[in-house]
Structure 1
Amino acid sequence: MTDDPSADVGSTLVLPGEIRDAILERARDGQPEEICGVFGGEYDDAPGGTSRVHSYYPTENVAESPQTRYRIDPEAQLEVFERLENAGEEIVGFYHSHPRGPAAPSETDVDAATWPDRSYLIVSLSPLEVGSWRWRADEDRFERERIILSA
């Protein structure tokens, strides 16, 4: 259910198994709509770097078409960023689900990506799969990222 460790990947995202499981459960409960949220922890933007998720913040999907898109309310996003700062954590990245699509960035995801070098974790429910990608703004593309589950 995670990336193939032998796949051609750049960076690494260390994700606690309990956070992955909570996101999977929320994605199942939220279908047919996409769910979304923010990751906090230790962020490493170096090529081949490792970011570590310590916390996650579920947010409401306020997109006009939540079955095929996600959008985090800007005010809610700022509140999450303040909570992260108060906790001494950095913005590691974001997550959302594709209830009927692959665990890979869609064209809509590419067009909406705005946080350079941050992780974008995508949960596919059909087939059940979790993938993570880093947005490389200087190259205008997503780069596949290895996921390592931690305790």
Structure 2
Amino acid sequence: MLDRFAAEAAADPREICGLLLGRDDVIHDALALPNVAPEPARGFAISPADQFAAARFARAAGLAVVGCYHSHPSGNLSPSAADLAEAAQDGFYWLIIDGARRRLWISRAGGQIAGRFDPVELQIIEAPAFRESSPWNLQAHLQPAGASANRRRGTSQAPRQGPSPQ
């Protein structure tokens, strides 16, 4: 998974992004998702529809969305001002990548970084990738670009914005 992130980040000058799936403080998998930020070279955003689809996918697989990952093409592995502004959910992991370098953070009130983030030791456990041993298919949960997650429910209310689909 980390090698995949490094390759994605090296191939794209914009910020890459996705969501981390796991349970019991273990990240089992990650879903690469399109960066829909207005300025993807300077920040990242994941569409609400993709966030909800990822949450449904994770739930069906017995996992939860436990965090996000994104690259900092500048090379700084610390949370940016934009990351600080978006870190509303305590206990949400943030994996920041620059090529082969990476740093894991957890959002927490009173954290060491601007009162919002604490560093977390990233321990790598050798295991087969979750999706390699799973029948789950994210594409079955994603909607076509431009489709509203609420259209099927018959409401025009927009989904909540932010890094957490929960």
Instruction: Place the TM-score, normalised by the shorter chain, in its bin.
Output: 0.7 to 0.9
Is 1:129 aligned to 2:110, yes or no?
no
User: Which structure has more RCO (C-alpha within 8 Å, separation ≥ 6)?
Assistant: 1
2-structure distance, mates of 1:38, 1:76 = 10
Structure 1 segment 82-121 matched on structure 2, within 5 A: 82-121=56-95
RMSD of the TM alignment (CA)? Answer: 1.4
Structure 1: where are the runs of 5+ without partners? 1-18, 44-50
2-structure distance, mates of 1:104, 1:115 = 18
TM-score (norm 1): 0.77
How much does 1:87 deviate? 0.5
Per-residue CA shift, 1:69-96, capped at 9, x if unaligned? Answer: 0000111110000000010102221100
Per-residue CA shift, 1:109-139, capped at 9, x if unaligned? Answer: 10111322111000024xx520010001365
Equivalent of 1:66 in 36, 40, 49? 40
Is 1:33 aligned to 2:33, yes or no?
no
The structure richer in strand per residue is: 1
What letter matches 1:29 in structure 2?
A: A
Query: Given that residues 54 and 65 in structure 2 are in contact (C-alpha distance below 8 angstroms), is that contact kept between their aligned partners in structure 1?
Result: no
2-structure distance, mates of 1:27, 1:114 = 25
Moved over 3 A (4+): 137-140
How much does 1:150 deviate? 1.3
Based on CA coordinates, which of the two structures has the bigger radius of gyration? Answer: 2
TM-score (norm 2): 0.70
2-structure distance, mates of 1:25, 1:92 = 22
What letter matches 2:125 in structure 1?
A: S
What SS does the corresponding residue of 1:149 show, helix, strand or coil? Answer: coil
Match of 2:118 in 1: 143
- Size of the aligned set, in residue pairs, is 123
Structure 2: where are the runs of 5+ without partners? 127-166
